[in-house]
Structure 1
């Protein structure tokens, strides 16, 4: 620490130096401070900050580095710090030196990086804070953060920190050496940002994020970034008292200002600087231009070199930067914190949006950017939807277009194909508002026949056409037709090894769903298992499909009674998609909805409702309150209320949803009918038994006629009707129905299934109402056994109803014994 005289001397030298040309300052500083290294270091830092608050010019920067390193003697090999012995120095910086060390007390073998904090970096007050910080840093457990193993202060007052040794390269150097493309660079930075986000959640701000502090190493053949050097990271609650820290060129403007009013947005700035450098090859200037403009302003040879390092051409690279990364980088690099991303989480969301081909929020209402990203995220083969459009027009009226002409117009068809595919999405009954589907099926059949005949020489286009047709046939509940098309895509892929990977994965995703919706659960599970394995082995851009299929498989397992496995898979899939996809991504929201349904049915109502509220909020914002996907999420939330026994709360929402469905789709529609069935449950549980009856009966009859008496939905709705019969005083009729259902469920679902368990409980209730206590006890205990098998003994919410039934049975048995 400088004393009063030294501070006065520093002030005088600073004013004298600022009057000199910059080229003469280094000589002046060495001449005036050669006898006092600490004074020299402070003077260099002041001049650098005065020259540019966020960047040091090269001579000053080098002088600061040399002065800082010269002030500490290098530790000799073998020197011990706690149980760790130094082997050799591997790096040095303004905050101290880093040594390769090893465990020397014989407890176990491990190489580590030991950072010896420069003595002048910590005064007495900060020594105490250093110990606190080390305990805080050790709590951080994240794949993108180098693990802290040990820390301490030796007898000479030297603070040391032992961390995981990463045999890697700085992120920018690694990317350049491996000629990593722009997308992979952003993926690596996003993984690192997830680590920063984790640190912020623990209350730690890094404050020196730069390429040298994010090392990339291969783990199981995959590149993984690791954040190192939290040596100047500070507890967020104590950041106001901390020195600014940071590295010029990457540190935020507020870190260079007196007072050091830093917060998590300082790390946002540094991540923006890293993104800038990864994108265009240089850290940002004090007032940065967009990365695409920086690239354009470089000499032709340099532009070509930067593009080649990113596996691209200058024109393609600039276009990719303009498609969102310019906006993300500039928002993160705003000089005023209030104009930046509010958190690393917000920055991550935009990076994920860009990776998923969505326009980032930072771009604002950029219309053409939205069009370009829409086309990229929904990319089909060159003329796929154009070919289907030809079939549509041919099925409705004469046309002058032909498939041959569409192929010749490939560039234009690429842009229009996505629009035409979205038009075909109106075939889905949730969007077509219960239109007559005969014509739609005829058009799809005609398209299928022509595609096979006329696109045989174009397997990629044919696969896309088949996929569009199959998706729409699933929407029309024509599952066998859809399955045939999806199997055709798999055959095409098998005949074209390596060429149709994405189309085959999408086919397996839709095929598994078709099996699930048609109650072919074993085929659905096998298809999803195979699809997940293939997607995990494939390119990184296809990995989201593995998570999506895992989420769908979770529902298959849940229907089969494997609640624990289903919950785990659903949670992992949702967490994975949340890391990879933006908040309003459809696949992420679908996974959230499935996970919420499993949680709610398993009795975890609080978490389920939080998830469903978020799904409703996002879908309402994107689509509107009456869009089919929004309505589905609203209906799931009403179901969660029913399961929570909030019948009065569920009733008004169900009435509103039923009215909307009837207005949109008509009375004879599955959405309308199923919602009315749930309304019946809300009414019955409130004692409005007579009013509930017609809803139960209509729902049961509709599902049996539509899907068959043995289908999952028919069993559920018939069971609900049997429960209503009991509430209406028709115990004998209820018992007959429950026995018939028990036979179907035992045959199709098995005895260890939550639906079978509910039927057993309903049967016990019907027997109890008729005074047959012993039979009721047998079936109630069997129901409890099945529920425990599915959910375990800890899920009290799920076991509550069957235990209530058992309590009623035992009370009746005691009453009978007393009467005798």
Structure 2
């Protein structure tokens, strides 16, 4: 006989099994109850009874319902008029009535609409007034996510009709599955729909029947937009003339199913939670048994899990982690049986969804330390733009390390040491202080972990190497380059002491160490280190060959920074071709290699090919990760840079504005990505003649770089040079000249004379001198700029030399003009 726990498990498994197609239920039972023969027998008997009863009842009930529908609401012929509207054909039917496609028939204007004839008894005078009141409320709603009500009326026999905007779209769940939308994209769509519901609530209208079929998604200007339909359910009346609760099982709140219970805004909160449940795990929640989406997913057979995850462009493991990272908590909070335990309003629900989208723990999750820590690392995931390092959040990385050690090695003592160490590190993260001290807090956690790693993990060199590597990766991404270099060197030293054991960690540390050296301004050291890593990866295990190509791709960027464009382009092409042979088209390391090749093509004059590559990468990353993922935003920014090189400044501005907005929203104004994007936007604006508008962006980029990178960092030199160019455009030629002279002294020391940045400073100085009438000095510096560019690019590379040649040509025109009077005097 089953005990209480087994009975509870039986109920849970029964509800999950009945959600599956009949052909999959037996497999599900064997997979989830095979360890308990009695439970398995009971479960199979329940499913058989349910299936048999359903078959016996379904057909007669369906036929009876159809007969009732035909009798109470016969289909009307085309051309039937409702006021100025003429019916064309039936496009749907439901509990409220038939829906027809209709058009304006009086010739006033052309419009295609959906006309719903409400299936209710004829309205008496009192209900007639109620209907008109509801129609006035519905007409007041003006929101992009709500289908607009155009007209309403009552037939002579007392039946009501509504004319609504005709939406060409699909139910939100169907649309998301067909487009393999990620969980993030699904939540973003639900937030847009929720904003429409919130707008309706502010107008005093409750929907009462929110479900995927009443939220249609279509494309508007190339972007998906949800539209809520059937707000008219609020005017449906029952046989006694009272307003009905409405609703659809699975999405309908418990109070709507109770006779005499009053639905309010929290009923729509419940329905939105049910929709989120289905969008998250592909299953409609069972009435009276609300399980977290991750639990529903976990209970499915492995193949079904893979199918559901694939429709969300991910894997089961990643999907479960995303669900546990806050979506579960939001669903369970929204779908509480008691109204008072739910979110008090749609606005509160949307606030938690937006927090999840911005990588903050939702309030429904409470004070969960590990979640707060992991979320805060997610929202501070700074992607290293010059190298395309895939961001690895510290907390998530540490947890994955612990898991992989347990799974792969199956050594209990080692797993306990690892998990104890990682748990103690995570316990140091207090979510109460993480909100305003994100970067400072992370660096403090990393510093604590680094002090303890060598002391507490010395007996396990492989575990120590994993932890040291993760610390170094995250310190690099937080621009703490000096400590990152030290930790990555520890990994390489450990690998040297244990030959063969830590080869992958050695190569990975070498890969990231190259980025850290670039960040620290040690370009020559990075060049030598990456070359050594490439050779070692190629001569070792074939499984490490992808790392060799990845390091080769990063080496190409270093060579570009060193002013060796031909060598950079050669290495980038070879690396991209190598990754294309080894990795799938959407693999992030392959996309990184393609993006680096595009960046080098852009800087060396082949903008057309660069733009084509970047557009493809942008499309893939938007689909895989969403429009505001850091990798997507960096790709969009690099596409804007290619447009800047092409001198399509309007196109660059169009790409950069959403990037700047997203960075400010995700990271705040005091952030390197925000500042860098503002600097690029400033250039796009100034080149279009929007000089005044570009000034604040130039200054913000320059000041951020000066404060955070130092006065002689390469980024600071470039930002200050761009600001000096703006000074000239804004009419401050003398100040511009002083700035360019000071920068030339620094650039000669940091870069050398034959470097693209130095050449641009020489050109900028010549432009300022020309504006001041110092033609001889301008000619000297413009000629030096052209010579430097020729040393870098050669004389046959048109684009990089174009601006310098134009400056020199303008200077020579001015010199000829000045020489003309003297020549006439000599004659």
Same fold? TM cut 0.5: yes
Aligned CA distance change for structure 1 residues 730 and 100 (closer, same or farther; 3 Å): closer
Please list, as runs of the form range in 1=range in 2, the aligned pairs for 1:288-327 lying within 5 A after superposition: 290-293=292-295, 307=305, 310-311=308-309, 318-327=320-329
Match among 125, 128, 132 for residue 127 of structure 1: 132
Residue 541 of structure 1: how far off its partner (Å): 1.3
SS at match of 1:279: helix
Distance 1:109 1:758 in 2: 58
Change (3 A) 1:210 1:490: same
Q: Which residue of 1 aligns with 2:420?
A: none
Residue 387 of structure 2 aligns with which residue? none
C-alpha displacement of 1:699: 1.0
1:400 is matched with 497
Matched, 1:540 2:541: no
Per the alignment, residue 92 of structure 1 pairs with 94
Q: Which residue of 1 is the match for residue 742 of structure 2?
A: 698
**Residue deviations 1:349-404 (CA, integer Å, cap 9, x gap):** 455457xxx97787566436855986996499999989999996797687134457
* 1:367 lines up with 2:370 in the alignment: yes
**Structure 2 residue aligned with 1:43:** none
CA shift at 1:507, angstroms? 0.9
Cα shift at 1:559: 3.6
| Partner in structure 2 of residue 279 of structure 1 | 280
Structure 2 Cα separation of the partners of residues 672 and 535 of structure 1: 28
Q: How does 1:496-511 map to 2 (within 5 A)?
A: 496=582, 498=584, 501-511=587-597
Contact 2:576 2:597 in 1 (8 A): no
CA positional deviation for 1:215: 4.5
Q: 1:395 to 1:488 in 2, by over 3 A?
A: farther
Report the equivalent of 1:451: 537
- Deviation track 1:488-527 (CA, whole Å, cap 9, x = no partner) reads 33222443474675433211212222344xx41x225412
What secondary structure sits across from 2:92 in the alignment?
strand
Is the 8 Å Cα contact of residues 518 and 526 (structure 2) preserved in structure 1?
no
Following superposition, the deviation at residue 191 of structure 1 comes to: 2.7
Compute the displacement of 1:551 (Å). 3.3
Residues 606-664 of structure 1, C-alpha deviation per residue, up to 9 Å, x if partnerless?
Answer: 98799x7xxxxxxxxxxxxxxxxxxxxxx65266xxxxxxxxxxxxxx5x964x46xx6
Structure 2 counterparts to residues 559-708 of structure 1, below 5 A: 559-571=645-657, 594-595=680-681, 597-599=683-685, 602=688, 636-637=699-700, 654=703, 658=706, 660=707, 665=710, 668-674=712-718, 695-703=739-747
In the alignment, structure 1 residue 116 sits paired with structure 2 residue 202: no
Query: Which digits, 9 at most, give the CA deviation of each residue in 1:464-497, with x for residues without a partner?
Result: 4444555666677776665444323322244347
Q: SS state of the match for residue 76, structure 1? A: coil
| Inter-partner Cα distance in structure 2 for 1:758 and 1:594 | 22
Check whether the contact 1:490–1:504 (CA below 8 A) recurs between aligned residues: yes
Match of residue 5 from structure 1:
none
Q: Is the 8 A contact 1:276 1:291 kept in 2?
A: yes
Distance 1:110 1:309, change over 3 A: farther
1:163 corresponds to: 165
Change (3 A) 1:304 1:437: closer
Contact kept in structure 2, 1:76 and 1:86, CA below 8 Å: no
How far is 1:91 from its partner? 2.0
- Rounded to whole Å, the distance in 2 between the matches of 1:77 and 1:555 is 59
On the 8 A contact 1:114/1:160 being kept in 2, the answer is: yes
Q: CA deviation at 1:159?
A: 3.7
**Structure-1 separation of matches of 2:726 and 2:172:** 57
CA gap of 1:399–1:481, structure 2 versus 1, over 3 A, is farther
CA distance in 1, matches of 2:307, 2:491: 48
Distance in 1 between the 2:815 and 2:717 partners?
26
Q: Is the 8 A contact 1:149 1:162 kept in 2?
A: yes
- What secondary structure does 1:191 align onto? helix
| Paired position in structure 1 for 2:229 | 228
Q: Which residue in the other structure is 2:527 paired with?
A: 441
- Alpha-carbon distance in structure 1 between the residues aligned to 2:114 and 2:621: 35
Select 1:190's aligned residue among 164, 188, 191: 188
Is 2:607–2:645's contact at 8 Å kept on the other side of the alignment? no
Cα 1:568–1:172 change in 2 (3 A) is closer
Provide the rounded CA distance (Å) in 1 between the counterparts of 2:289 and 2:351: 22
Which SS does the other structure have where 1:283 is aligned?
coil
Task: Flag the 1:636–1:353 CA change in 2: closer, same or farther, 3 A.
Answer: same
How far apart, CA to CA, are the structure 2 residues paired with 1:282 and 1:349?
23
2:141, 2:148 within 8 Å by CA — same for their partners in 1?
A: no
CA distance in 2, matches of 1:722, 1:273: 66
1:448 Cα offset (Å): 1.2
**Partner SS state of residue 684, structure 2:** helix
Provide the residue aligned with 1:490 in structure 2. Answer: 576
- 1:90-109: per-residue Cα shift (whole Å, max 9, x none)? 2223xx32323344849899
Deviations 1:241-262 (A, max 9, x none): x999766764789999999875
Cα pair distance change 1:696/1:464, threshold 3 Å: closer
Q: 1:512 to 1:190 in 2, by over 3 A?
A: same
Q: Which residue of 1 aligns with 2:415?
A: none
Distance 2:488 2:731 in 1: 55
Of 518, 527, 545, the residue aligned with 1:428 is 518
Say whether 1:76 aligns with 2:76: yes
3-state DSSP of counterpart to 1:209? coil
Q: Give the 3 Å change call, closer, same or farther, for CA 232–702 of structure 1 in structure 2.
A: farther
Q: How does 1:235-274 map to 2 (within 5 A)?
A: 250=251, 262=265, 270-274=271-275
Distance 1:198 1:304, change over 3 A: same
Gap change, CA 1:711 and 1:103, over 3 Å in 2: farther
Shift of 1:427: 1.7
User: What's the CA shift for 1:210?
Assistant: 1.6
- Give me the whole-angstrom Cα distance separating, in 2, the residues matched to 1:397 and 1:268: 55
TM-score (norm 2): 0.56
**1:279 deviation in Å?**
3.4
Distance 1:146 1:397, change over 3 A: closer
Root-mean-square deviation (Å): 6.3
**What's the CA shift for 1:286?**
7.8
Distance 1:130 1:608 in 2: 49
Residue 450 of structure 1: how far off its partner (Å): 0.7
Counterparts of 2:530 and 2:713, CA distance in 1: 22
Q: Which 5+ residue runs of structure 2 have no aligned equivalent?
A: 1-61, 236-242, 382-389, 405-464, 474-484, 790-794, 822-827
| 2:638 is the alignment partner of 1:552 | yes
Closer, same or farther in 2 for the Cα pair 1:161/1:509, shift >3 Å?
Answer: same
**Where does residue 817 of structure 1 map in the other structure?**
none
The 3 A distance-change label for structure 1 pair 261 and 370 is same
The answer to whether the Cα contact below 8 Å between 2:740 and 2:765 also exists between their aligned partners in 1 is yes
Distance of 2:131 and 2:546 partners within structure 1: 64
SS in 1 for 2:76: coil
Provide closer, same or farther for how the CA distance between residues 740 and 328 of structure 1 changes in structure 2, counting only shifts above 3 A.
farther
Q: CA deviation at 1:445?
A: 1.8
* Cα distance in 2 for residues equivalent to 1:397 and 1:492: 30
